[in-house]
C-alpha cells in the first residue's frame, strides 16, 4: 500500500500523551500512533453507520424475505 506524508497540528498535551505511549513502547513512533488512532476511529464510524442502516430495516419484512421459498425447501430437509 502506498503512503503519503501529511502534516498535522496537535494540542501540546495530546502530543505529550502520544510521546508517553511511544516511550512505553506501545507504538514505535508518532506516525504509527496517529495512523492507528485514525484507523480505529474510521472503523468505529463505519460500524455505527452500518448499525444505523440496520435500524432502518423492517424486521417483519426481512423475516418474510428470508423465509420466502422456505416451505418448499423444508420438505427436503431431514427430520431431527
For the chain, give the DSSP string. -----------HHHHHHHHHHHHTTSSSSHHHHHHHHHHHHHHHHHHHHHHHHHHTS-HHHHHHHHHTTHHHHHHHSPP-
Residue with cell 498535522: 8
pLDDT digits (tens, 9 = 90+) for 13-38: 999 999 999 999 999 999 999 999 99
Look at residue 50 and tell me if it is in a domain. Answer: yes
Would residue 4 count as lying in a domain? Answer: no
d(CA 36, CA 69): 45
pTM of the model: 0.60
Q: Report if residue 7 sits inside a domain.
A: no
In the structure, what pLDDT confidence band is assigned to residue 55 with cuts at 50, 70 and 90? confident
Residue-range definition of the domain harbouring residue 41: 12-69
Amino acid at each position: 500500500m502506498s503512503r503519503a506524508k501529511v502534516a498535522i497540528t496537535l494540542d501540546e498535551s495530546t502530543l505529550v500523551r502520544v510521546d508517553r505511549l511511544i516511550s512505553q513502547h506501545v507504538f514505535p513512533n508518532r506516525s504509527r500512533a496517529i495512523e492507528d488512532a485514525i484507523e480505529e476511529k474510521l472503523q468505529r464510524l463505519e460500524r455505527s453507520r452500518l448499525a444505523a442502516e440496520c435500524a432502518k430495516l423492517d424486521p417483519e419484512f426481512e423475516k418474510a424475505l428470508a423465509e420466502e421459498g422456505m416451505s418448499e425447501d423444508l420438505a427436503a430437509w431431514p427430520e431431527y
